[in-house]
Amino acid sequence: MKTLIEKAGIDTKKTKKIAQFIDFLLVKNSELNLISRKLEVNTILLEHIYDCLAGFNYFKGYKSITDLGSGGGFPGLLLGIVFSESTIHLVEKSPKKAKYLYDAVNHLKLTNVTVNNGLVNEFIVKTDVITCRGFKPINEIIDMTQLYFNSDVTYILFKGRVETINEELGLTAKKYSIHSEIFKIADQMPEKERNIVILKKS
């Protein structure tokens, strides 16, 4: 984890805030079961924190990012910490999880992060990037964000196996004209293949 943070160029202040986020998440997870109470700290660090940070190089240079189905704050809250000069919008339909996200934003003093409680298609905000992790298949993501798609937004999606990604892209291409690239991330989890998909309207 330390090596990854160093490679990403995350400064000491942001590193401390990531640690604060982890502490806050652990407390709230025991109450709300945000990412499963059964997970040990090391598993959370590797499968959630590390997984998100490993893909963050692809977010550099964007002024605004919208995270769909933010849940426990992955990747949205971490994006808010690391990219403090960017505007981060979190969209979460569960009132319980949205309340947790509000509390986390206030606790971490993330003035660049806003929380939207409701369905994805209920919110249209100005954004450069759409992202999500463990949310929906690619074709469904575009279905519910067509206004963003038609505005030439960039999609940076956290995904699993390449075979599954290619199946989803095949279904998406039947309905939409797309350009996509796949990049492998998170080499420290060989048993859980992880990839970033970058997708735009062709």
Residue 85 burial (10 A CB sphere; 0-12, 13-18, 19+) = exposed
Residue-level pLDDT at 6: 59
Among 160, 144, 186, 150, CA closest to 49: 186
Asked if pLDDT for residue 91 goes beyond 70, the answer is yes
Tokens 């009132």 map to which residue? 95
Taking only the tens place, the pLDDT of each residue in 131-141 is 999 899 999 99
Taking only the tens place, the pLDDT of each residue in 1-30 is 555 555 556 777 888 999 899 889 988 888
CATH of the domain at 177: 3.40.50.150
Global pTM reads 0.91
Among residues of the chain, what percentage have pLDDT more than 70? 87
Residue-level pLDDT at 38: 63
E strands in 15-55? none
DSSP string for 96-135 = HHHHHHHHHHHHHT-TTEEEEES-GGG-----SEEEEES-
Enclosing domain of residue 118 = 2-201
Structural domains counted in the chain: 1
Residue-level pLDDT at 37: 58
